[in-house]
Amino acid sequence: MVIWFWYFLCYSFLGFVFEVVFARATHNPKRDRKCRYFLPICPVYGLGAVAILLLPEAVQARPVLFFLCAAILCTAVEYLTGLFYEKAAGVAFWDYAHLPLNLNGRVCLPFSLIWGILSLLLRGLTQPAVERLAQAAPLWLLPPVLLFFLLDSGITLFVLRTTRDTGALRWYSLLRQPSTDSRSSP
């Protein structure tokens, strides 16, 4: 069971990296894609990856079937995660209402297809490296990482429920105060 936690954490981090790169590539004004107060992770990716890895070998052995099942599974995970954030925290991290064939703005066909493609990459390219990394993690590392993850999740939920604003997770932006020096530079 320990290895599944590491899979979840690794893919949540990789999802965060993917989101940041995607936001910058598409010139999205919301460039910081944090979903936790401290940790740079997007748990929806970790949950989706774990769900994909749990697909039966008979499904994983057939690329077209795997693509379809993974796309559907990831779309379901995305829908349920979006619903959780809306109901438990009062926020929405994404809104696909402007995209075609969306369901309540939580999921849409274009991103379902992207999840299918990413699933093929996960299985063929990413998983072997993530598996080696997860197997190399010493057992003593699990309790402090798990504790920090749970504390961060609790703080995140509290902050989101209190503020109803995903921007509140960008606490570090308060550290970058604009200069009060009104002199112009030459």
pLDDT band for position 35 (cuts 50, 70, 90): confident
Query: Residue 97 is part of which domain span?
Result: 2-141
At 185 the pLDDT is: 38
pTM: 0.89
Q: Is 91 helix (H, G, I), strand (E, B) or coil?
A: coil
Answer yes or no: is pLDDT of 136 > 80. yes
Would you say residue 115 lies in a domain?
A: yes
User: How many independent structural domains does the chain possess?
Assistant: 1
* Mean pLDDT (whole number) for 39-64: 96
Would you call 175 exposed, middle or buried from its count of C-beta atoms within 10 A (0-12, 13-18, 19+)? exposed
Would you call 48 exposed, middle or buried from its count of C-beta atoms within 10 A (0-12, 13-18, 19+)? buried
Computed over every residue of the chain, the mean pLDDT equals: 90
Q: 10 Å Cβ neighbour count for 117? A: 12
CA 42/CA 30 separation, integer angstroms: 15
| pLDDT tens-digit map of 54-85 | 999 999 999 999 999 999 999 999 999 999 99
Q: Is 38 helix (H, G, I), strand (E, B) or coil?
A: coil
Answer yes or no: is pLDDT of 178 > 60. no
Would you say residue 166 lies in a domain?
A: no
Would you say residue 130 lies in a domain?
A: yes
Amino acid at 25: A
